[in-house]
Amino acid sequence: MSYNLIKQLSDKNENWKVRVRLSRMWEAVNRKNLELISLDMVLIDEQDDTIHATIQKNNVKKFQAQLREGQLYSLSNFRVDTYKEKDSYRPISKDKKINFLRTTVIEELKEAEVTISQHKFEFVDYRTIVDRFDNNKQLTDIIGKIVGVGAQENVHVQGSTVPMRNIDIMNPEDIKIRITLWGPTSNEIEDNFYTNNPGPFVIIVTSTIVKTFRGEHYLSSTSATKVYINLEIPETATLIDRYRIQLNVDDGTEHAVFILFDKEAKKLLHTTARELSNKYATMNANSTLPNEIEKLIGKTFVFQLKLNNYNWKEGWELYTIEKVFDNISNDETAMKLDHITTEALENYEIKKNADQTSQKNKFEVLDKKQLTSTNNDEKRSKQEHNNGAIPSISSASNVEDTEPSDDNMFLRYLINCQKATKHKSSKKKKLQRRK
């Protein structure tokens, strides 16, 4: 008997035979009582078509031991069902699914027999995510670069304690999206994963549902969710070829670490990450930074920062750059900067020192030698350990000996807030461990 393609399957009969790769598999669980409902999977055929397959609870023991993610199989004697309009939580957009019967036959195939992709996802844009709010008919796959990893927390849900972790990603449209990982899925990323490793990190999170909190749309994991980091697929490669430049900055009162992402970096450097990567492809690992980046050293900029809960609630030392202004001489730009800063501070309800902290803050880009001469040993060691050969942005004066002026107060104030928050967050985590 010859093989059928996924696109040929229908609910007209059960006389089908397909050869497929089991791309991903999960246990569908009742969220209320945590009882197993079914064993589910996504299958891919040689034409890169996908289909959802289900093994009902009473047949799971019969088949589960025969199935492994990533393996090729021949399947026959199964039933094809058409989704009903009311059916929700569909992992893929197809209207058909395979149901295993007790008579279903599973045969393992060798890789040489057929070429089938390892993975297939259905990534969506931000508009689609918004449209899927309050509509769980279709689960959502998302890809993006990790820009924040929250601590794992234990929360009470329906009478039981469940671990959860928030992560923030930047999607291909440069829109920041929060994802909440629940249960065992929250263990897929460690607390210090993002800060202790150089990256870049492209994450794929499958089968999420769309929710909102305080007007912001975010994604929440389900029992079908899988997490992949830097998976070798074209979509990942495209995102990796994007800027994530880590900068040490100083405004004369304090040092901080700012992160410059693709959108603003392209404006500042006048070239894309891929173009720059191709241009310097022949450079060896010990070579200096690309000239386009090295030219930042010695320059002064004004940065508009986008602060999030990781900064305010957990004391994160990395601050995301929202916009870069390299021409602040005209009155129109200066007024715009004052308005932006004041508005941002009001949004975070920072009332203290509002007049001082709304001033324009300038940052000068200097080289490593200048950074070393302006910092004490402890700070210098920490910055060099965290940032390696990354260009440093610093002032030429010793921050310990500098009295902050009205125009130079925001960064010290920001760092003091961060240190206090980090201390409180650390005490909270210790108390949670004791409990």
Domain locations in the chain as residue ranges: 6-113, 126-240, 244-425
**Cβ pair 413, 387 in contact under 8 A:** no
Rounded Cα distance, 307 and 147, in Å: 12
Please list the residues that pair with 179 across neighbouring strands. 167, 219
Cβ neighbours of residue 406 closer than 8 Å, sequence gap 6 or more: 355, 356, 359
Q: Name the one residue in this structure whose structure tokens are 């849900």.
A: 157
Strands (E), 326-360: none
What element of type H or E holds 364? strand 362-366
Are 27 and 39 contacting, i.e. CB atoms less than 8 angstroms apart? yes
Distances (CA, A) of 7 to 18, 402, 411: 11, 70, 59
Q: How far apart are CA 225 and CA 140, in angstroms?
A: 9
**DSSP string spanning 93-125?**
S-SEEEE--TT-EEEE--GGG----S----B--
- The amino acid occupying position 389 is A
The answer to whether the predicted template modeling score (pTM) of the entire model surpasses 0.75 is: no
Are 256 and 414 within 8 A, CB to CB?
A: yes
From 166, 320, 167, select the one nearest 247 (Cα to Cα).
320
Cis amide linkage into residue 91, ω under 30° from 0: no
109's tokens: 């195939």
pLDDT tens for the chain, 435 residues long, are: 689 999 999 998 878 999 999 999 999 988 778 899 999 999 999 999 999 999 999 999 999 999 999 999 999 999 999 999 899 999 999 999 999 999 999 999 999 889 999 999 999 999 999 999 999 999 999 999 998 889 899 998 877 889 999 999 999 988 899 999 999 999 998 877 777 776 778 999 999 999 999 889 999 999 999 999 999 998 998 887 778 788 888 877 777 888 888 888 888 888 888 788 777 766 654 556 788 888 887 788 888 887 776 676 666 677 888 888 876 555 555 555 555 555 544 444 433 333 333 334 555 554 444 443 334 443 443 343 333 333 333 322 222 233 333 344 467 777 777 677 666 666 555 555 555
Amino acid at 240: I
Tokens 């295993």 sit on residue: 100
As given in the structure block, the two tokens for residue 318 are 């990395």
Residue that the structure tokens 């610093």 belong to:
394
CATH number for the domain whose boundaries are 6-113: 2.40.50.140
CATH 2.60.40.3140 given to domain 126-240: no
Q: What is the 3-state secondary structure (H, E, C) of 245-308?
A: EEEEEECCCCEEEEEEEHHHHHHHHCCCHHHHHHHCCCCCCCCCCCHHHHCCCCCEEEEEEECC
How far apart, in whole angstroms, are the C-alpha atoms of residue 43 and residue 22?
5
Residue 105 carries which side chain, given as an amino acid letter? V
Q: Tell me how far apart the terminal alpha carbons of the chain are, to the nearest angstrom.
A: 61
- Token duo for residue 421: 């928050």
